[in-house]
């Protein structure tokens, strides 16, 4: 079983579990062993799923401005949690392949495995919600057809991205690629680097 063959069903399970309640405040019930890679993958997608719906809510044109600001703060926090999870998943890959002998002509990828997995998690959400649109009984046939076309593209993208991730991991395992992880340095979250927060005049 490849990594994405393991990861993608976990993403789908997380999305289905969330939609049993469809409530951004419903507490996560992660079914996997704590701190296992499966546990991190489920948690990663749960964060993505909650944030997806927070992004829907904040776009309500009738939203109260005070509530919108609170939501914006929550989305900011979610983005940081999401970044932290990606770095934890990359740590899993770094540890797993730490003893691999890297070929002299090995190359680095444009993104780490976990950031590619992050895109796969978001893609799972896009596919789920596009399927919802395709299955809408109250939608016009033109809407359904347009969404079906988009869904077909998303499904093809899911196959291509999964293949690319698995190939990257195989190349790392074989020493053909090497990992180099850069921690995300988001300056706007840091009181020492955001001029609004440190009081720059």
Domain ranges of the chain: 3-187
| Predicted confidence (pLDDT) per residue in 174-194, tens digit | 999 999 877 766 677 677 777
Mean pLDDT of 49-77: 95
Q: Would you place residue 121 in the very low, low, confident or very high pLDDT band (cuts 50, 70, 90)?
A: very high
- Residue 180: the pLDDT is 84
Enter the pTM of the model.
Answer: 0.91
C-alpha to C-alpha distance for 67 and 135, rounded to whole angstroms = 32
Q: Would you place residue 169 in the very low, low, confident or very high pLDDT band (cuts 50, 70, 90)?
A: very high
Share of the chain above pLDDT 90, in %: 89
Please return the burial class of 105, using the count of CB atoms within 10 Å of its CB with bins 0-12, 13-18 and 19+. exposed
- Residue 190: the pLDDT is 73
- Residue 127: the pLDDT is 98
pLDDT of 200 strictly over 70: no
- Residue 191: the pLDDT is 77
């Amino acid at each position: 079983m490849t990594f994405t063959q393991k990861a993608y069903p976990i993403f789908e399970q997380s999305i289905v579990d969330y939609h049993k309640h469809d409530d951004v405040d419903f507490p996560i019930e992660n079914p996997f062993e704590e701190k296992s890679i499966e546990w991190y993958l489920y948690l990663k997608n749960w964060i993505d799923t909650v944030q997806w719906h927070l992004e829907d809510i904040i776009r309500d044109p009738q939203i109260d401005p005070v509530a919108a600001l609170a939501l914006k703060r929550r989305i900011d926090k979610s983005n940081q949690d999401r970044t932290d999870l990606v770095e934890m998943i990359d740590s899993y890959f770094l540890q797993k392949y730490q003893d691999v002998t890297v070929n002299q002509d090995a190359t680095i990828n444009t993104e780490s495995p976990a950031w590619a997995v992050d895109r796969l998690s978001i893609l799972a959400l896009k596919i789920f919600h596009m399927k919802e649109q395709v299955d809408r009984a109250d939608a016009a046939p033109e809407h359904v057809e347009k969404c079906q076309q988009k869904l077909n593209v998303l499904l093809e993208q899911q196959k291509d991205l999964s293949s690319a991730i698995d190939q990257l991991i195989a190349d790392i395992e074989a020493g053909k690629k090497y990992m180099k992880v850069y921690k995300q340095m988001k300056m706007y979250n840091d009181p020492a680097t955001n001029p609004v927060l440190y009081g720059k005049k």
